[in-house]
Amino acid sequence: MSWNKRIAIIVKLFFSIIVIVFFYWAITNNMLSHITNEATEFLALLKQHITIIFISGGLAVLIAVPLGILVTRPMFKKVDWLIVNMANLGQTIPSLAVLALAMGILGIGIKAAIVALFIYSLLPILQNTIAGLESVNKQTIDAAEGMGLTSLQILWKIELPHAAYSIMAGIRTALVINVGTAALAYLIGGGGLGVWIFTGIQMFDHTYLISGAVPVTVLAIAMDYLLKGVQMMVDPKGLRLARKIQHMEE
Amino acid sequence: MIQFKQVSKVYNDEVQALRGINLHVKEGEMAILIGPSGCGKTTLLRLVNQLETMTSGEIILHKENIKQIDKIKVRRQIGYVIQSNGLFPNMTIEKNVMIVPDLLGWDREKQKKRFHYLMELIGMNPDEYRRRYPHELSGGQQQRIGVARALAADPPIMLMDEPFGALDPIIRLRLQEEFLQIQREVRKTVLFVSHDMDEAVKMGDKIVLMRNGEMMQADTPAKILLHPKNHFVEEFVGEDRILKSLKLYTLRDLVKEVNLCSITDINDKPSINLDASLHHVFSMLLHQGYQQLAVVEQDKLLGMVDISVIEQFIRLEQQKLL
């Protein structure tokens, strides 16, 4: 067993113990009691939270993936940088500011929260889509073209399967970040589990804070695992093998 | 049949990549395009499947001007093999090989049969490799699959851009042999880009030597080696061009033209078969220090061969080709 593996196991063990101790403490001190005592309220907030994430994330996927495909086509090669820069700029603005801006335009409520998170999710997906599509070997494309595949067939049969892993990684990053950022939706009246978190902060009531924060964390981890699974699924077997072999040669 | 008529290509209005190329590659003929890098050989090849566009001139494929046929349609009738990375790593070997037939809408049964035939042709087990992926194969195997894929829809024309260039020398030699075997069976019209003169001599029915976008000489290997048209050709084919030319002939060719030496005491002399190449005979004569070798055909002794006989024969060939 290598040193790296040993350290990884020690770190995992350490954090598992912390998590177990934390839950033991939280449950024995009734820190998560609100979840069971106010179950309907909790479920409503959870539903709001998930709605914000999935609608904003879904819209971002629907816009960013086609946009990424479009800008990597030969005719748009020249404006590629412009679009990436614009999306980059969007990412440099703090999430709170994006929320505030969205509220300024759309008023308070869940809509503003969705729009803000949508804007915030665009970049990771767009960047990964472009990177994935551009990673396809030029000679592979040349061979496909030379054999008489149309550009659409090349996109569908070669480029997208190559980029799928990377695109899914972008979606995963965006959605996992969204789970956390959606907690800020409370600030502009968007609801979600942030309501309990901020209530807890304002009232110095740890039970509310923890009853809101723990589900958000669990949701983020669950989302990460779920999307990791999807990422593995969309990655063609042949490419997985290719990466493995490349890795071994290095 | 491929015919180039006054084909020229200019990049960005200034760089002349090809100048007035006239070339005729006959049906079933293999023409090797060779020359120093930047001579335009690859560009010339890529004009045929329109991966590059020409500035002026005409290319005729089987009486049809390529400008008048749909680009995609032309490409599907041309087999295309490139140096490496040409296989699609996300697809299985069967999907890779059958890509053009699939695009052409062949039914499943026909595709299956064709896949079987092609895999046998390249000497790989169809059932063993059907579901494998390109990266699980060695470089030589990948390149064999590349050849099978180009042949898949039985195109009359093949374009090969240094197909064996990235392989190590032993595998390269083997694949050259194999491809010659295949070519004897399928008889395609082949344009083959190479940078290796030995490969050109071995594979080509015709060698097209290029420099700076111009055609220097287009002739049979024998003519290129024995009668280089100018100083550049002479230099490019190498000082050992006469020696290389010995690979083109066998003892069978020799006995038709010149007389062997009379039979002397053969007890201490090794024998050699009538089908041996003169290159092989010559190196045996030098290497083993024998003055003569005994030429046999099915246990029948025909005579003796020595260096002067070979010399006489090459002189004669040289005169014949004038």
Q: What is the pLDDT of residues B25-78, one digit of tens each?
A: 999 999 999 999 989 999 999 999 999 999 999 999 988 999 999 999 999 999
Examine the pLDDT at A249 and tell me if it is beyond 80: no
Query: Which pLDDT value is given to residue A31?
Result: 83
Percentage with pLDDT > 90 across chain A: 62
- Chain B partners within 8 Å of A150 (Cβ): 72
The Cα of B165 is separated from the nearest Cα of chain A by a number of Å equal to 15
Tell me, yes or no, whether A59 and A170 share the same domain.
yes
Chain-chain contact of B100 with A146 (C-beta, under 8 angstroms) = no
- Beta sheet of B30-34, edge-to-edge order: B78-81, B157-161, B189-194, B30-34, B206-211, B214-219
CATH number for A78 = 1.10.3720.10
Tokens 């092609």 -> residue = B118
Nearest to A45 by CA among A176, A140, A185: A185
- Chain B partners within 8 Å of A158 (Cβ): 88, 90
Examine the pLDDT at A74 and tell me if it is beyond 90: no
Nearest to B226 by CA among B193, B253, B248, B255: B248
pLDDT tens-digit map of A38-48: 889 999 999 99
Tell me, yes or no, whether A119 and A178 share the same domain.
yes
Examine the pLDDT at B317 and tell me if it is beyond 70: yes
Query: Which pLDDT value is given to residue B289?
Result: 75
More confident residue, A93 or B187: B187
Examine the pLDDT at A181 and tell me if it is beyond 80: yes
Examine the pLDDT at B268 and tell me if it is beyond 80: no
Tell me, yes or no, whether A200 and A161 share the same domain.
yes
Cα B223 to the chain's mean position, in Å?
16
- Chain B partners within 8 Å of A151 (Cβ): none
Could you tell me where the beta strands, DSSP code E, fall in chain B? 2-11, 15-25, 30-34, 56-61, 64-65, 78-81, 157-161, 189-194, 206-211, 214-219, 271-273, 293-297, 300-305
Examine the pLDDT at B174 and tell me if it is beyond 70: yes
Examine the pLDDT at A96 and tell me if it is beyond 90: no
Three-state SS sequence of B237-289:
HCCCHHHHHHHHCEHHHHHHHCCCECCCCCCCCCEEECCCEHHHHHHHHHHCC
Examine the pLDDT at B2 and tell me if it is beyond 80: yes
Tell me, yes or no, whether A69 and A180 share the same domain.
yes
Tell me, yes or no, whether A79 and A10 share the same domain.
no
Tell me, yes or no, whether A10 and A89 share the same domain.
no
- Chain B partners within 8 Å of A236 (Cβ): 90-91
Tell me, yes or no, whether A23 and A121 share the same domain.
no
State ipTM.
0.86
Query: Which pLDDT value is given to residue A83?
Result: 80
Percentage with pLDDT > 70 across chain A: 99
- Chain B partners within 8 Å of A241 (Cβ): 89, 133, 135-136
What are the C-alpha distances in Å from A87 to residues A131, A173, B89, B197? 14, 15, 31, 53
Query: Which pLDDT value is given to residue B287?
Result: 82
The Cα of A218 is separated from the nearest Cα of chain B by a number of Å equal to 35
Examine the pLDDT at B210 and tell me if it is beyond 80: yes
Examine the pLDDT at A250 and tell me if it is beyond 70: no
Measure CB to CB from residue B135 to each of A146, A148, A241 and give the nearest one: A241
Measure CB to CB from residue B90 to each of A142, A146, A238 and give the nearest one: A238
- Chain B partners within 8 Å of A238 (Cβ): 88-92, 133-135
Tell me, yes or no, whether A19 and A62 share the same domain.
no
Chain-chain contact of B135 with A238 (C-beta, under 8 angstroms) = yes
Chain-chain contact of A139 with B86 (C-beta, under 8 angstroms) = yes
Res. B100 pLDDT band, cuts 50 70 90: very high
Examine the pLDDT at A81 and tell me if it is beyond 90: no
Examine the pLDDT at A107 and tell me if it is beyond 80: yes
Q: What is the Cα–Cα distance from A18 to A55, expressed in whole angstroms? A: 34
What mean pLDDT is predicted for residues A197-226? 93
Tokens read off for A157: 């049969």
B80: left (phi over 0), alpha (psi -120 to 50) or beta: beta
Query: Which pLDDT value is given to residue A247?
Result: 79
- Mean per-residue pLDDT of chain B: 93
Tell me, yes or no, whether A6 and A63 share the same domain.
no
Which residue in A136, A147, A152 has the most chain B C-beta atoms within 10 A of its own C-beta, making it the best mutation to test that interface? A147
Tell me, yes or no, whether A52 and A103 share the same domain.
yes
Pick the range with the lowest mean pLDDT from A135-139, B41-45, B298-302. B298-302
Tell me, yes or no, whether A22 and A131 share the same domain.
no
Query: Which pLDDT value is given to residue A101?
Result: 85
Q: What is the Cα–Cα distance from A143 to B302, expressed in whole angstroms? A: 52
Chains A–B, number of C-beta pairs less than 8 Å apart: 80
Percentage with pLDDT > 70 across chain B: 99
Examine the pLDDT at A88 and tell me if it is beyond 80: no
Find the angle CA(B72)-CA(B78)-CA(B83) to the nearest 5 degrees.
105
What mean pLDDT is predicted for residues A116-124? 89
Tokens read off for B293: 């070798």
Res. B322 pLDDT band, cuts 50 70 90: confident
Examine the pLDDT at A128 and tell me if it is beyond 90: yes
Pick the range with the lowest mean pLDDT from A45-59, B106-120, B282-296. B282-296
Pick the range with the lowest mean pLDDT from A117-121, A158-162, B177-181. A117-121
Chain-chain contact of B88 with A140 (C-beta, under 8 angstroms) = yes
Tell me, yes or no, whether A90 and A5 share the same domain.
no
Tell the burial category of A75 from Cβ atoms under 10 Å away from its Cβ (0-12, 13-18, 19+).
exposed
Chain-chain contact of A137 with B82 (C-beta, under 8 angstroms) = no
Tokens read off for B95: 């999907």
Examine the pLDDT at A87 and tell me if it is beyond 80: no
Number of domains in chain A: 2
Res. A202 pLDDT band, cuts 50 70 90: very high
Examine the pLDDT at A170 and tell me if it is beyond 80: yes
Percentage with pLDDT > 90 across chain B: 80
Res. A217 pLDDT band, cuts 50 70 90: very high
Sign of the torsion formed by the C-alpha atoms of A219, A224, A229 and A235: positive
Query: Which pLDDT value is given to residue A1?
Result: 66
Examine the pLDDT at A37 and tell me if it is beyond 80: yes
Tokens 């609100």 -> residue = A34
A150 residue type, one letter: T
pLDDT tens-digit map of B103-113: 999 999 999 99
Range of the domain at A11: 1-30
Query: Which pLDDT value is given to residue B266?
Result: 66
Measure CB to CB from residue A140 to each of B86, B92, B133 and give the nearest one: B86
Complete domains list, chain B, with CATH = 2-239 (3.40.50.300), 249-320 (3.10.580.10)
- Mean per-residue pLDDT of chain A: 90
| Contact partners, residue A55, CB within 8 Å, separation at least 6 | A114, A118
